[in-house]
Amino acid sequence: MTVDSPIRRLRLRAPLLVWLVLIWNLLWGTWSWANLITGVLVALTVTVLLPLPPVTGGARLHLVPALYFLGHFLVNLSVSSAQVAWQTLRPSGIRQSAVLLVQLRTDSDLLLSVISQTLTLVPGSMVLDLDRRRMTLGVHVLDVGGEDDVERQRAEVLATERRVVRAFGSAEDIARLDQDPPQGPAAPAVAETAR
């Protein structure tokens, strides 16, 4: 077990402290020395009394892949919104929905969270389960007509993982994308639900 020096702990907590002081001043609505000093005191008190584990090895921003990720996300958001609206308004309705179990390659908590939030924010899909240890996502998707749709949806989840990891992952995370996903326990690939 290694013991972190106070300077290293302060460096790791500095972004949180700055964020808390900023929020404190925004909540008061005015910038003053009194608000700044009390914000620092409150931030230090909160981080000492309610310590969070330090997040090391956090996200790295790769500008071009991040812009590609953002552009693709906005297009996907718009197209999916229109598709879900059409599926709910058309006479035949939504054909069938499914729950997919998708094996991912990343094991970063931060990247798994971003992938999950990205998938959930897009209409027509929702992450139901995230198994951190097995690196799998259970994703509910709408309007699945057959096995081709299932594979297309699974490929879209893996493409989202690639875009997120290339935009925010470390060099190790990006290199892991070229590896085959680890073999998890045997589980049903698709659980279809009734209309």
Segment 132-167, tens digit of pLDDT: 888 899 999 987 888 888 899 999 999 999 999 999
What pLDDT, in 10s, does the model give residues 57-79? 566 888 999 999 999 999 999 99
Please report which helix (H) or strand (E) contains residue 98, including its range.
strand 97-103
Look at residues 135, 146, 118, 119 and name the one whose alpha carbon lies nearest to residue 187.
135
What residues does each domain of the chain span? Answer: 6-49, 63-193
CA distances from 11 to 4, 8, 61, 81, 179 (A): 11, 5, 19, 42, 34
Please report which helix (H) or strand (E) contains residue 86, including its range.
helix 63-89
pLDDT for residue 8: 72
Please report which helix (H) or strand (E) contains residue 168, including its range.
helix 147-168
